[in-house]
Amino acid sequence: MTTSSRPVAMNVTRQNGMVVVSVVGRSAIPRVVRFVVDVDGRSTTRNLARSTVGPDSKTLSVVRFADLPPWQVTLDVDEQGSDHYTLHASDKALE
């Protein structure tokens, strides 16, 4: 499941009993982005990062955790001088 057509997107997949959350970035105009990945459920984690995204797609962060429902992933993104948005994924959305 991939969410968002914005410069920063979140791809969530299930692999071998694990959930893999990949944060990817791509932008026609280079820009600095800051983001926070929050995982809530039986496993909890928070990943804060900053990166520059440009025309070449790149993986900005990868978070893995056991696929033990219920869980929810939230990605908060701030694009420098532009926009703020939040993306969500959950165990129910991948069923």
**pLDDT score, position 78:** 96
Between CA 26 and CA 36 the distance in angstroms is 17
pLDDT tens by residue, 69-84: 999 999 999 998 778 9
Note the pLDDT of residue 72: 97
Q: In what order do the strands lie in the sheet with 84-90?
A: 45-53, 31-41, 71-79, 84-90
Domains, the chain, with CATH or none: 2-90 (2.60.40.2420)
Q: What is the pTM of this model?
A: 0.88
